[in-house]
């Protein structure tokens, strides 16, 4: 089955921002560009509404665990320390759970498994491809200056791949800023 999604393999370290707009027309409730706008070229200032991924609790927590060797309960992800930077952050839904500690430890077990899997196999195309679609990888936007902005999906994997220095990951280009188009055509911006 051929997928309607065009996959690009890129260096995960090139994705340093995440979309952090406001919920309004064209954006979802978490401030990301709506999936209904997939494949669109848009003008406007949407690409300026971003948050550095390294400033998120998710990045800090994963870094603290795997680079500094901290226990999960001592990281910035622990429920009593968790502060949500923006609704687009993957940790936004965590604080609304009735039993946030049990949920936290389930999530951390999942992150541990994901980390072990990626550290052993890196990103194996056969392992992650399902029915022509790369499962759990992200949609990115291309900003006016060519910056790659995470729109949705795959944030845990992205952070782990950055920490493990994985060479390339599959992404889908969701939206492109109109001002980036000439640069893409000339090869100045390379995906």
| Rounded distance between C-alpha atoms, residue 57 and residue 46, angstroms | 23
In a domain, 1, yes or no: no
Structural Rg of the chain based on CA atoms? 17
**Tens digits of residue pLDDT in 104-134:** 888 899 999 999 989 987 766 665 555 555 5
pLDDT, average across residues 40-65: 89
pLDDT at 188 over 50: no
Q: Which helix (H) or strand (E) holds 6?
A: none
Domain range for 175: 7-186
What total of structural domains would you count in the chain?
Answer: 1
**pLDDT score recorded for residue 130:** 54
Find out whether 152 and 117 touch, Cβ atoms under 8 Å: no
Cross-strand partners of 33: 27
In a domain, 128, yes or no: yes
The tally of CA atoms less than 13 A away on the side-chain side of residue 106 is: 7
Residue with tokens 């997939």: 38
Among residues 177, 185, 170, which one has the least CA distance to residue 147? 177
| Rounded distance between C-alpha atoms, residue 35 and residue 15, angstroms | 19
pLDDT, average across residues 65-77: 94
Cross-strand partners of 42: 177
In a domain, 131, yes or no: yes
User: If you average pLDDT over every residue of the chain, what do you get?
Assistant: 79
In a domain, 132, yes or no: yes
pTM score above 0.85: no
**pLDDT score recorded for residue 94:** 61
**Tens digits of residue pLDDT in 151-185:** 887 888 999 999 999 998 888 888 888 898 877 76
In a domain, 140, yes or no: yes
**Tens digits of residue pLDDT in 2-16:** 445 678 888 999 999
Provide the terminal-to-terminal Cα distance of the chain, rounded to the nearest Å.
Answer: 25
pLDDT at 26 over 90: no
**pLDDT score recorded for residue 20:** 82
């Amino acid at each position: 089955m051929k997928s309607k999604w065009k996959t690009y393999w890129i260096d995960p370290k090139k994705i340093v921002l995440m979309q952090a707009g406001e919920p309004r027309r064209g954006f979802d409730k978490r401030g990301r560009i709506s999936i209904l706008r997939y494949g669109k070229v848009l003008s406007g200032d949407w690409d300026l509404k971003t948050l550095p991924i390294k400033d998120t609790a998710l990045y800090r927590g994963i870094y603290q665990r795997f680079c500094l060797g901290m226990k999960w309960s001592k990281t910035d992800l622990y429920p009593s320390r968790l502060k949500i930077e923006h609704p687009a952050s993957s940790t936004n839904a965590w604080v609304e759970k009735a039993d946030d500690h049990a949920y936290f430890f389930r999530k951390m077990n999942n992150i541990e498994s994901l980390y072990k899997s990626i550290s052993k196999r890196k990103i194996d195309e056969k392992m992650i491809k399902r029915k022509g679609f790369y499962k759990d990888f992200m949609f990115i936007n291309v900003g006016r200056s060519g910056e790659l902005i995470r729109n949705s999906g795959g944030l845990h994997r992205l952070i782990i791949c950055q920490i493990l220095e994985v060479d390339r990951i599959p992404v889908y280009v969701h939206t492109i800023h109109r001002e980036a188009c000439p640069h893409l055509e000339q090869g100045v911006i390379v995906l």
